[in-house]
Amino acid sequence: MRCGEIAERLDERLRTDEYADVDASANGLQVGPADRDIARVAVAVDTAVSTIEQAESAQADLLVAHHGISWGGIDRVTGTAYRRLAPLIDDGMALYVSHLPLDGHQRLGNAAGLAELLELQNTEPFGELGPVHVGQRGHAPDAYSVDALHNLLAGELPHGGEGVQVLDFGPNKIEDIAIVTGSGVDWLEEAAESGADAFVTGEGKQKAYHLAKEHGIHVFLAGHYATETFGVKSLQDLLEGWGLKTTFIHEPTGL
């Protein structure tokens, strides 16, 4: 399958254009010849020197990543930017990126995958960002305790041994859960105002402690990387369904 066709299919499936005005990431095909034939695809959360090298070792023709290398443009191709771009260009490996579209997709996205892990029902879009959403909210039919939800997240997510932090300020029973993966703590107040008992995200900020305490909501900080493997794994399944061979590159950051 040609690279350009893969990119077009992914853009259509992920509704990439709808996020163009709200996402700093240059989503879509960031590097590579659109007319190249693609046989093997590597998927990864991050585009970094090490993940590119691993994609090369796997003989991938295309790397599909959540975090790319162009955030509002590339001013100079020196230093780290050069070390990332040079092997892609030298080997003719393409790079496709989906940032916020892959966070917010209600079936393939990171939040959707985490909601499925938590077995949430009646899920709906959550986390407003202009005209789009970057998360998901749902109902747990069997209420979680704080310890039960913490243990599930800590046991199932690849947090690199760093564990899951909890701001324990909500009710004893956790039924309504809002999710924005990665650096999603800015949607904490929206979660509280929506009536959620708990908010699950990747990483926190200082203000989250007092906001959670004042709003009476639990906050689970489960790791940026750990909460964002779901989307690229969903794309891996999708690509395999299109007849492509795939490799998942796993490099947890512990952050």
Residue numbers in the known binding site are: 66-67, 103, 224, 228
Instruction: Decide: helix, strand or coil at residue 194.
Output: coil
Judge contact between 50 and 252, C-beta under 8 A: no
> What's at 135, amino acid-wise?
G
Residues 6+ apart with CB under 8 A from 177: 115, 118, 120, 137, 138, 139, 140, 144, 149, 196, 197, 198, 199, 200
* Binding-site positions for a divalent metal cation: 66-67, 103, 224, 228
CA 182, CA 165: separation in Å to the nearest integer? 14
Please tell me the total number of residues recorded for the chain in this structure: 255
**CA 240 to CA 31: how far, in whole Å?**
21
> What is each CA distance from 183 to 99, 138, 194, 223, 226, in whole angstroms?
12, 20, 19, 9, 11
First to last CA, the chain: 35
